[in-house]
Structure 1
Amino acid sequence: MSGWTVIGVLVVVSLASIAAWYLAPKGDNQTVWRSSVILTLAMCYLMWAITYLAQLHPLAQPRRSDLRPEYAE
């Protein structure tokens, strides 16, 4: 696991967004369709990336609670 995974997924999401832009069905709702798909991809990516990075580099270190206080440090 590395931080390069986040960049790789960003490239995939960017390509999917570009594809959604050009493959959007023509019509009155083309702008709505494009915006919905691209925003959905962007928000899903952000949620995944934040969760992934939080697990990759946690802010708080886990502590064992089943140890006696003198051995907890």
Structure 2
Amino acid sequence: MGGWNVIMIGFGAAIFIALSYISVPKGPNQTWAITYLAQLHPLITPKSTGGIHEELMFGTH
């Protein structure tokens, strides 16, 4: 079997990806979940502009 397992799994994954792409509903609001999750868990920490948030967090009055 050897290398045929890798080829068959790759072929199966390609079919799964193609079917997933076809079955997903398309429209103007298709990326709302990605935007929402990016706001919940940002990859880059938002920079504070100062103000009450920074005072409460670091204790500077």
Q: Normalization by structure 1: what TM-score?
A: 0.36
Higher relative contact order (CA 8 A, sep 6+): 1
Larger Rg: 2
Higher helix fraction (1 or 2): 1
Q: Normalization by structure 2: what TM-score?
A: 0.42
